[in-house]
Chains A and B, each alone.
Chain A
Amino acid sequence: MGNKMLKRNDMIMMGIVLLIALISLGFFFLNKKEGSAVIITVDGEIYQQTELDQNNTIKIKQDNGDYNEVIIEDGYVWMTDADCPDKLCVKHNKIHYDHETIVCLPHKVVVEIVGGEENTVDIIAK
Chain B
Amino acid sequence: MKTKKITIFGVLIALAFILSYIESLIPIPIPVPGIKLGLANLVVITGLYVMGEKEAFVLSLIRILLVSFTFGSPSTLLFSFAGGILSCFCMILMKQIGKFSLTGVSIAGGVAHNIGQVFIAILVVNNILMIYYLPFLLISGLVTGLVIGMVGALIVGSVKKYHLVTGNNN
Q: Please report A residues at the B interface, Cβ cutoff 8 Å.
A: 1, 3-7, 9-10, 13-14, 17-18, 20-22, 24-25, 28, 41, 43-44, 85-86, 88-89, 92-93, 99, 101-103, 105-106, 108-110, 112
A103 touches B33 (CB 8 A): yes
Residues of A within 8 A of B156 (CB): 1
We find that the number of chain B residues with CB closer than 8 angstroms to chain A is 39
A25 touches B135 (CB 8 A): yes
B121-164 near A? 1/0 per residue, CB < 8 Å: 10011110110101110110110001001100110110011000
B127 touches A10 (CB 8 A): no
Instruction: Count A-B contacts at CB 8 Å.
Output: 111
CA distance in complex: A20, B116 (Å): 16
A5 touches B100 (CB 8 A): no
B52 adjacent to chain A (CB < 8 Å): no
Choose among B34, B101, B135, B153 the residue that contacts A24 (Cβ–Cβ < 8 A): B135
In the complex, besides A41-B127, A110-B129, 13 extra interface pairs with C-beta distance below 8 angstroms are A5-B101, A13-B104, A17-B107, A17-B138, A18-B139, A20-B135, A21-B142, A44-B125, A93-B31, A103-B125, A105-B121, A105-B125, A108-B124
B contacts with A: majority SS: helix
Q: Please report B residues at the A interface, Cβ cutoff 8 Å.
A: 31-34, 73, 75, 99-104, 107-108, 111, 121, 124-127, 129-130, 132, 134-136, 138-139, 141-142, 146, 149-150, 153-154, 156-157, 160-161
Closest Cβ of chain A to B96, distance in Å, is 14
Closest Cβ of chain B to A116, distance in Å, is 13
B104 touches A7 (CB 8 A): yes
Choose among A18, A24, A44, A88 the residue that contacts B127 (Cβ–Cβ < 8 A): A44
B73 touches A106 (CB 8 A): yes
A10 touches B104 (CB 8 A): yes
Closest Cβ of chain A to B136, distance in Å, is 8
The answer to whether residues A112 and B129 also contact, given A101-B31, A103-B31, A103-B32 and a CB cut-off of 8 A, is: yes
Choose among B126, B138, B139 the residue that contacts A41 (Cβ–Cβ < 8 A): B126
A6 touches B32 (CB 8 A): no
Residues of B within 8 A of A88 (CB): 31, 33
